[in-house]
Amino acid sequence: MTQKNVLLTGIKPTGQPHLGNYFGAIEPALKRADGNRDNFFFIANYHALNTIDSAEELKKLTHIIAATWIASGLDPSKCHFYKQSDIPQIFELETILNATVPKGWMNKAHAYKAAVDKNRADKKDIDSDVNMGLYNYPILMASDILIFNANKIPVGKDQIQHVEIARDIAMRFNSKYSTTSLTLPEYIVEKDIQEIPGIDGRKMSKSYGNVIPLYGTEEDWFNSIRRIVTDSEANHTIETFKATTFYGIYHHIATEEESQKLCESMVGHNIGWKEAKEDLMEKMIKRFKEPSSVYLDLLHDTNHIDSILDEGAKKILPIAKETLGKVKKSVGVI
C-alpha cells in the first residue's frame, strides 16, 4: 500500500519574522508544497503561550504570522491553513499521549535541557523559570503532527529532535495499544540551504537582536541594513569579500549574476560599502516590496485574516475528529 504524503509545518507566533525565518523555513516549506500532497500550514499559538503573556501581543503576532504566510505565497484555497487553538482535538490528544510518554524523554529535549544548563551556569535552581508548557513542548508538537496523520514535516535543523520524539511517541502508542492509529512522521531538512548571517555576523536570530525584518517598510529594512558590520579592508579579493557578513546576506537576496557583479565592483574598488548597502536596499525592494504591500494590506484587515483561518480550521476538523476517535477507541474511553 502506498501511503499518500501529508506535509505539515507550523510557526510559533513569538516575534516578527525575519530573513532567517524566510530563507530557512518559510520559503522551503512553501516550495515543498505541491499538488500531490495534502499540505497543512498553521500558526502554533498555544506553543507561543509559553513565552508571550500579553493577550494583545499574542493576537497581534498571530495576525503577523498569518499575513506572512500569505504574503510569502501560501494560497489558502490550495492548502490547509489554520491556527492551532481552533483544533481542540490537538489538546485532547496531548492529554492522552501524556500518559504514554516517559518523563525521561522530556528531560532530554533540547529546549528544556538548554534552560536547565543555563540555570546551572547561573547557579540557579535548575528549573527556575521553566514552565510545564516548555517541558511538555515536544508532546504538544507531536499532537500537532499526529492529529492530521502527517508524515512529512519540513523543519529547520533545530526542530529535528522534536520530530524524532513525535515519531517515537507514535510508535510507542501504536505498540502499547496494538494499533496503527498513529502515522509515523519524518522530518524534511533542506541540505543545501545556507544559513543567513545576522547584521553582526552571528546566526540571524531574534534573541541576538541582529535581524533584518522580512516584511515591512523600506525604513524598517534600511535601519537594519545600515548597521550591517563591515570592515575597513580596502583590498578584498573575491574570496575575502565572499566571506564577509555583508556578502553572506546579499547573495541570499540577489541573483547569482547580481552577486557576481557586486563582487567585481567591490574588489575592483569601483564602489565602497555605502554603495554596496544602497545596492542591497534596492535588491530588498525588488524582491520583497510587493509581498510587503500584500502583508501590510492584510494587517489592515485582521477580520479578513480571522475569517480565512476560521474557514481553514472548519475544513479539517473532521480529520482531527477521526484521528482522535480512533485513539480514544484504542485506549478505551469510547
Nearer to ligand TRP, 44 or 211 (CB): 44
Measured at the alpha carbon of residue 302, what is the angle toward residues 154 and 13, in degrees to the nearest 5?
35
Nearer to ligand TRP, 187 or 295 (CB): 187
Judge whether 280 and 246 are in contact, CB under 8 Å. Answer: yes
Residues in contact with 112: Cβ distance below 8 Å, sequence separation at least 6, in sequence order: 106, 130, 134, 135, 137
| Shortest Å distance, C-beta 108 to ligand TRP | 16
| Shortest Å distance, C-beta 288 to ligand TRP | 22
Residues that bind ligand TRP (CB under 6 A): 8-10, 12, 44, 47, 141, 144-145, 153, 155, 159, 162
The size of the chain, in residues, is 334
| Shortest Å distance, C-beta 128 to ligand TRP | 22
| Shortest Å distance, C-beta 11 to ligand TRP | 6
| Shortest Å distance, C-beta 62 to ligand TRP | 13
Q: Tell me the C-alpha distance between 101 and 92, whole Å.
A: 15
Judge whether 69 and 80 are in contact, CB under 8 Å. Answer: no
| Shortest Å distance, C-beta 9 to ligand TRP | 4
The residues pairing with 188 across neighbouring beta strands, listed in sequence order, are: 154
Nearer to ligand TRP, 57 or 282 (CB): 57
Nearer to ligand TRP, 160 or 317 (CB): 160
Nearer to ligand TRP, 142 or 254 (CB): 142
The residues pairing with 187 across neighbouring beta strands, listed in sequence order, are: 153
Nearer to ligand TRP, 153 or 324 (CB): 153
Q: Tell me the C-alpha distance between 64 and 176, whole Å.
A: 41
Q: Tell me the C-alpha distance between 179 and 59, whole Å.
A: 39
**Sign (positive/negative) of CA torsion 325, 148, 13, 50?**
positive
Measured at the alpha carbon of residue 116, what is the angle toward residues 113 and 119, in degrees to the nearest 5?
150
Of the candidates 331, 323, 330, the one whose C-alpha atom is nearest the C-alpha of residue 88 is 323
Nearer to ligand TRP, 157 or 314 (CB): 157
Nearer to ligand TRP, 161 or 259 (CB): 161
Nearer to ligand TRP, 38 or 144 (CB): 144
| Shortest Å distance, C-beta 162 to ligand TRP | 6
| Shortest Å distance, C-beta 90 to ligand TRP | 9
| Shortest Å distance, C-beta 243 to ligand TRP | 29
CA 211 to chain centre: 15
Q: What one-character-per-residue DSSP string does 4-51 give?
A: PPEEEEEE--SS--BHHHIIIIIHHHHHH--TTSEEEEEE-HHHHTTT
Q: Tell me the C-alpha distance between 71 and 89, whole Å.
A: 29
